[in-house]
Chains A and B, each alone.
Chain A
Amino acid sequence: MNPPDSAVEVAPGVHWVGALDPGLREFDVILKTANGTSYNAYCVRGSAGVAVIDTVKVSHADDFFRRLEQVARYDEIQVIVLNHLEPDHSGALPELMRRAPQARLYISEQAQMMLKGLIKSEELAYTPVTTGDSVSLGDRTLRFLHTPYLHWPDTQCTYLEEDAILFSCDVFGCHYCDPRLFNDRVGDFRFSFEYYYAHIMRPFREHVLAALDLIEPLALNLIAPAHGPILRDAPRAYVQRYRQLAAPLLHNEAAGRAKTLLVFYISSYGNTERMAQAVRDGAEEVEGVRVSLYDLQGSEVAPFVDLVEEADGLVFGSPTINGDAVKPVWDLLSSLAAVKVKEKLGGAFGSYGWSGEAVAMVEDRLRGLKLRVPVKGVRVKLIPTAAELSRCQAFGRDLALHLTGQVTHKIISMEELNAREQAHA
């Protein structure tokens, strides 16, 4: 075991100079951390200078500087790379720049505005970099890979070419604190690795795939992430695991031949349920749409989230109780940040007794999640009549036509829009 305060050699001339935070039990509000976490920072020595890659959370800056001072003098530092500016990586950056004023800061192009937001200084000198850019340390070269949205827009990876070491930032990372540091020595951290992916990377699946296209061709002796164990044993296995995790959890066997529309509903007296059935019936009239109806009372949220990930359209039926949509609807709607829903089709409907706010509230939430909400929802006071059920059916049909791109483009005037709004007021 390494002495608790020492820098740890990762490869010749490459040291871990990060910090351990074993007591942390919740990260960024959204993640539980049963084993705490580590803030991994690295120091790379080249013949023409030293590079520091990432720093640590400000509360752990003393540990970082103590370790850094064991392997480099501040006046040797020529390069500082911040792969991602979230405060758990950039916390010690201002002090590091003060101690090593000659060093040049390298960040991704997308990180520039974030840097100004974090450091609050207009006089910062830095070099924005992207895929293909590199910086020389004499006999060693750091090459940058632009990997946006893993998990912030600014995220990049840095590749030490001569040693085939990938400083991967949050990619391939996890919240698992173990002073033994290396994946072949620490405890079993697989659940943390998978959990981290599911909560941090999964919403950005397309970006994960793009990043893997950049990373997979690289020779990889070691992956040095910004959190969790350093992956020196079989590093490529973790790249392969990301490729598997980036596949949808539920394979949509209808994807090739039909658009999928999910109708979720909850109903206290069966009125919203009858509306849901009518919405389904209407949508089914349209060729090339696979419609599924789900009672939210009959399931936990998580399996629905997996379904939503692969669906083309989502419709929510909710009664209005005390001026609001009901909790199971919000539970599902508040869980969709875990998957990509942007630009899917959305809609809402529901029966109500007094006021009927639920439909508009759900529509606003869907727009907030960047879904398209092209068809105004249907509200019915209490028990739907046959005519009202026909409206629900037409609503379902219209949604299905939008899904399949069969809607005729509408042209209306501002006067008509104003008149329509007054009629609904």
Chain B
Amino acid sequence: MPKANVTFEDIGVTVTVPAGTRLIEISEKVGAGITYGCREGECATCMMRIVSGMENMSERSVLEDKVLQENMAGRSNRLACQAQVLGGEVVVRPG
């Protein structure tokens, strides 16, 4: 199965994960400083920042895009509960 490396900058840990893993599945287990609310893409509590490797992330769904816009997100922000890692290297941090 194709793999991806996700680095959580705030805690200094890189996790090797199967391609297609949602960020929340990793961030929760590794203890990264991301907080969670509805876990369904509606509340934006888990908004985090992709420091690099956005090209290795899934496209924003219509729902994620709408919620990010409503919460004044920048281009580098994603919702941990929605965004999937597709491969390669991705570096993330809270916020």
Q: Contact at A113–B70, with CB atoms within 8 Å?
A: yes
CA distance A372 to B11 in the complex (A): 7
Q: Are A414 and B21 CB-contacts (below 8 A) given A374-B11, A409-B14?
A: yes
Least Cβ distance of B67 to chain A in Å?
Answer: 11
B21 CB contacts on chain A under 8 angstroms: 414
Q: Check A113–B69 contact: CB distance below 8 A.
A: yes
User: Contacting A370 at CB < 8 Å: which of B30, B33, B69?
Assistant: B33
Does A368 lie at the interface of the complex (its beta carbon under 8 Å from any beta carbon of B)? Answer: yes
Return chain B residues, CB-CB under 8 Å to A153: 72
Q: Among the listed B17, B34, B95, which residue makes an inter-chain contact with A414, where contact means beta carbons less than 8 Å apart?
A: B17
With contacts A110-B72, A153-B72, A414-B17 known, is A421 near B29, CB below 8 A?
yes
CB distance from A361 to the nearest CB of B (A): 13
**Any B CB within 8 A of the CB of A30:** no
Report the bound CA distance from A245 to B12 in whole Å.
Answer: 35
B-chain residues with CB within 8 Å of residue A370 when the two chains form the complex: 33, 94-95
Is residue A376 contacting chain B, with contact meaning CB distance below 8 A? Answer: yes
SS class of chain B's interface: helix, strand, loop or mixed?
A: mixed
- A407 and B69 CA atoms in complex are apart in Å by 36
| B30 proximity list for chain A (CB < 8 A) | 412, 417
Residues of A within 8 A of B94 (CB): 367, 370, 372
Shortest CB-to-CB span from A110 to chain B, Å, is 7
| Number of A-B contacts defined by CB within 8 Å | 66
Closest Cβ of chain A: how far from B71's Cβ, in Å? 8
Q: Does A364 make an interface contact (CB < 8 A)?
A: yes
Tell me if B10 is interfacial: C-beta within 8 Å of chain A. Answer: yes
B10, closest chain A residue (CB): A372
User: Using Cβ atoms and an 8 Å threshold, which residues of chain A touch B33?
Assistant: 367, 370-373
Q: From DSSP, what is the main secondary structure of chain A's interface residues? A: mixed
A343: chain B residues within 8 A (beta carbon): 10
**A113 and B12 within 8 A (CB):** no
How long is the Cα–Cα vector from A417 to B26 in the complex, in angstroms? Answer: 8
Across the interface, A367 reaches (CB within 8 A) one of B15, B17, B18, B35, namely: B35
Residues of chain A in range 409-425 having any CB-CB distance to chain B below 8 Å: 409-414, 417-418, 420-421
Please give, as numbers and ranges, the residues of chain B lying within 8 Å of A373 by CB-CB distance. 11, 31, 33
Whether A414 lies near B11 (C-beta < 8 A) is: no
Contact assessment for B16 and A407 in the assembled complex, using a CB-CB cutoff below 8 Å: no
A218-259: which residues lie under 8 A (CB-CB) from chain B? Answer: none
- Those of B1-53 within 8 Å (CB) of chain A: 5, 10-18, 21, 26, 29-31, 33-35
Question: Contact check: which of B13, B34, B71 meets A409 at CB < 8 Å?
Answer: B13
How far is the CB of B77 from the nearest CB of chain A, in Å? 14
Is A374's CB under 8 angstroms from B26's CB? no
Q: Among A113, A368, A371, A414, which residue has its beta carbon within 8 angstroms of that of B15?
A: A414
Chain B residues whose C-beta falls within 8 Å of the C-beta of A413 in the assembled complex: 15-17
- In the complex, A140 has a CB within 8 A of chain B: no
Within the complex, what minimum Cβ distance (angstroms) separates B37 from chain A? 10
> Contacts of B17 on A, CB cut-off 8 Å?
413-414
B10 near A364 (CB under 8 angstroms)?
no
A402 proximal to B (CB < 8 A): yes
- Contact present for A367 and B34 (CB under 8 Å): yes
Contact A412 B16, beta carbon cutoff 8 Å: yes
- State the CA gap A388–B94 with chains docked (Å): 31
Assembly CA distance A113 to B70 (angstroms): 6
CB within 8 Å for A374 and B72 given contacts A364-B35, A413-B15, A414-B21: no
Chain B's nearest CB lies how many Å from the CB of A313? 13
Residue in contact with A374 in the complex, picked from B12, B35, B71, CB distance below 8 Å:
B12
Identify the interface centre among B5, B17, B72: most chain A CB within 10 Å of its CB.
Answer: B72
Bits for B79-95, please: 1 = Cβ < 8 Å to A, else 0: 00000000000000011
Given contacts A411-B14, A414-B16, contact A368 B26 (CB under 8 A): no
Distance in angstroms from B54 CB to nearest chain A CB is 21
Q: Complex Cα distance A107/B11, Å? A: 38
**A418 to B25, alpha carbons, bound, how many Å?**
10
Q: Tell me if A374 and B10 are in contact (CB < 8 A).
A: yes
A residues at B contact (CB < 8 Å): 110, 113, 153, 342-343, 363-364, 367-368, 370-374, 376, 402, 407, 409-414, 417-418, 420-421
Please list the residues of chain B having a beta carbon within 8 angstroms of any beta carbon in chain A: 5, 10-18, 21, 26, 29-31, 33-35, 69-72, 94-95
Top-3 shortest CB links A-B: A374-B11, A372-B10, A417-B29
**Chain A to chain B contacts (Cβ below 8 Å), 6 pairs:** A343-B10, A368-B35, A374-B11, A411-B5, A411-B13, A417-B29
Interface contacts beyond A413-B16, A413-B17, A417-B29: sample of 17 additional A-B pairs, CB < 8 Å, sorted by A: A110-B72, A113-B70, A113-B71, A342-B95, A364-B35, A370-B94, A371-B33, A372-B33, A410-B14, A411-B14, A412-B15, A412-B16, A413-B15, A414-B26, A417-B26, A418-B29, A420-B29
